Amino acid sequence: MFTGIVNGIATIVLIKKKKNIYTFTVEISLNLFKNLKVGDSVAYNGCCVTIKSIHCPFIICDIIKETLNITNLGLLSVGDRINFEKSVKYGDAIGGHIISGHIMTTAYISSILNLENNCTIWLILKNKILMKYLFYKGFICIDGISLTVNNIIKSEFCVNIIPHTLLVTTIGKKKQGSIVNIEIDFYTQTIVDTTERLINKKIRNNQL
């Protein structure tokens, strides 16, 4: 699991493309190699991947077709930068919220409002059915960053980005039309789905 507190920015240095699988070689800063080993889970733009090999300062991971189709990883090229997070360990501080690393859909940035000390980003989900899981001040994970939903208008929602997040993640380099990975908060999804089942069950029982 992850927390949505990005550890650093990785740079893609090589992508080997084979049928149904891409092998990514990325470069990370030396301080991120502490306790990192083959087989560990790490997050690329919020997507959980497994380390295949380590050749400091590079790590290599395989990305399967399903992941390439659902996330923005299949759109990336050599030289692109991604948000990188190591998996959380027992006893680690959780500064964001619990994230599985299982991307549910993508979203495209519909507009960016740059203010003096922060910016507001408006987004539209590719899978609009998932809008039912978004709530004002609720958690959402965007490209691996733990953020808070600031407003919802019809099929769009927005988040506010503080200066620190703009500095230490890739979100500040996004443009209108950029595609980002989305993970909905698991606990919110569970509550909504459970409530829907109970309501539907009550309606069915009343119709009998």
**pLDDT tens, residue by residue, 39-64:** 999 999 999 999 999 999 999 999 99
Is 144 part of a structural domain of the chain?
yes
Tell me 2's DSSP state: B
CATH code where residue 116 lies: 2.40.30.20
Give the model's pLDDT for residue 190: 93
- Number of other residues whose CB lies within 10 A of the CB of residue 172: 15
pLDDT band at 28 (very low <50, low <70, confident <90, very high): very high
Domain around 74: 8-86
Q: Are residues 187 and 115 in the same domain?
A: yes
Q: What is the count of structural domains for the chain?
A: 2
Question: pTM for the whole thing?
Answer: 0.93
Q: Are residues 19 and 56 in the same domain?
A: yes
Q: Rounded to whole angstroms, how far apart are CA atoms 37 and 96?
A: 24
- Number of other residues whose CB lies within 10 A of the CB of residue 120: 15
